[in-house]
Amino acid sequence: MFSLVDCNNFYASCQRVFEPKLEGKPVVVLSNCDGCVIARSNEAKALGIKMGEPFFKVKQLVKAHQVAVFSSNYALYGDMSSRVMDILKEYAPKVAVYSVDEAFLSLAGMNYHNLTTWAVELKETVRRCVGIPVSIGIAPTKTLAKAANYVAKKNPVFGGVFDMSEERLQQQMLALMPVEEVWGVGRQYARWLQQHGITTALQLRDMEIRAVRQKMTVVGERMVRELRGESCLPLEEVPAEHKTIACTRSFNSLQTSFVQLREAVSCYTARAAEKMRTKQLYCARMQVFIRTNGFSSSEKQYSNACQISIPFPSQNTGELIAYAIKALEKIYRPGYSYKKAGVIFTELRTKAQLQPELFHQPDITSETLMATIDQLNQRYGRNMVRFASMGYQQSWKMQQAYKSPSYTTNWKELLVVSA
């Protein structure tokens, strides 16, 4: 038996914890560059603000209804997330953190005769200790637990908890669930399914498995089996090793000059390398890409990427920046207005996997240097110590006009309470 615990409107709820006056009010959180709406409180959803909608399209609505707007504050959400997860770990023997705002719990061997009671208690504890509202679904497979969670969220009468262990309930609820809400059915598959007369989760569950496999590969087959109650997706307690580490960003405005792009690409490389070092990984290959604004119909379009093999897997920012710039030189074309660039490290290795090289002695000083830089930057602020190619003006940098303080992770931004 599985349980899926999912934080409601997570980012919006996080912001509300520190501004309780927003309780019951519409709240939205924006993506990087304040581009799109990526989280909405229920009140904001009720206003018709869609997930992923460009902010500029809803600005009027936001103004008219005094919607509270926040730039995303990932330091805050990450910290709140780990607080929630800590509580979940007290309530179940096995917890698999699936994303920043949800986790699967294995209920195997748990001695509760009433799982609903257990879940209600868990839900109330999270609310009391962290301030975040959660919904909980219970079912024999992960996919069904997701569906149970959907039921819990959609029907306030259940109080945010729904136990769908019984086949009878599964049948009943899947019949009411639109097929596009099933975990693993995205836009493309939903369209295809609807065109073939499959509109509910129940109809998908009862499809012929061969047809599903043909269209949706083995992934789809597993999904249908899971809907039938056959568990195909195990609980993954230990997160899998990273396969890629990336830093990609849109610019605040269009950039044309090579110098600006080089600055940006250097910064992204530095950031990704930092991430790589916290996970103690080295990369043997990297990809650099740049692209113009795909939304624009008037601008000339160009998009290209370059992959580079790194002869001696590295986590050294300076070295990696040099490779990144080489890659950028290959793909940069003057005469275009660039909107976005990114750096992706692939073929990640652990230290133990590094091949000793006859003519390449591991550079001990480089490791100490990187560690020192990381420490300084952690202490005095990001990019306090940096490589010259990262620049100083950074005029391309993203804007965050509505950013709240990092209440829980930065001493300077603690919440001030006045009596």
| Contact residues: DNA, CB under 7 A | 31-33, 35-36, 38, 52, 54-56, 98-102, 146, 182-190, 217-219, 240, 242-250, 254, 275, 293, 295-296, 307, 339-340, 342, 344, 398
If phi over 0 gives left and psi between -120 and 50 gives alpha, with beta otherwise, what is residue 74? Answer: alpha
**C-alpha angle with apex 415: 413 to 419, nearest 5 degrees?**
140
Considering the complex, state which of residue 216 and residue 325 has its C-beta at the smaller distance from DNA. 216
**C-alpha angle with apex 301: 300 to 305, nearest 5 degrees?**
145
Considering the complex, state which of residue 149 and residue 167 has its C-beta at the smaller distance from DNA. 149
What is the smallest separation between the CB atom of 349 and DNA, expressed in angstroms?
14
Number of Cβ within 10 Å of residue 202's Cβ equals 18
CB 43 within 8 A of CB 26: yes
Considering the complex, state which of residue 25 and residue 293 has its C-beta at the smaller distance from DNA. 293
Look at residues 164, 155, 198, 197 and name the one whose alpha carbon lies nearest to residue 179. 198
Per-residue tokens: 104: 């699967």
What is the smallest separation between the CB atom of 130 and DNA, expressed in angstroms?
17
Considering the complex, state which of residue 340 and residue 349 has its C-beta at the smaller distance from DNA. 340
What is the smallest separation between the CB atom of 218 and DNA, expressed in angstroms?
4
DSSP assignment of 337-406, as one string?
A: -EEEEEEEEEEEEEGGGPPPBTTB---HHHHHHHHHHHHHHHHH-TTSS--GGG-S--TT----TTPPP-
Considering the complex, state which of residue 174 and residue 344 has its C-beta at the smaller distance from DNA. 344
What is the smallest separation between the CB atom of 145 and DNA, expressed in angstroms?
11
Question: What is the C-alpha separation between 269 and 283, in angstroms, rounded?
Answer: 12
Question: What is the C-alpha separation between 180 and 212, in angstroms, rounded?
Answer: 15
What is the smallest separation between the CB atom of 84 and DNA, expressed in angstroms?
12
Query: Strands, DSSP E only, in 274-335?
Result: 281-292, 303-314
Considering the complex, state which of residue 161 and residue 245 has its C-beta at the smaller distance from DNA. 245
DSSP assignment of 24-45, as one string?
A: TS-EEEE-GGG-BEEEE-HHHH
What is the smallest separation between the CB atom of 275 and DNA, expressed in angstroms?
6
What is the smallest separation between the CB atom of 417 and DNA, expressed in angstroms?
31
Considering the complex, state which of residue 25 and residue 83 has its C-beta at the smaller distance from DNA. 83
What is the smallest separation between the CB atom of 210 and DNA, expressed in angstroms?
13
Considering the complex, state which of residue 110 and residue 305 has its C-beta at the smaller distance from DNA. 305
Helical packing angle, 317-331 and 258-278, nearest 10°: 140
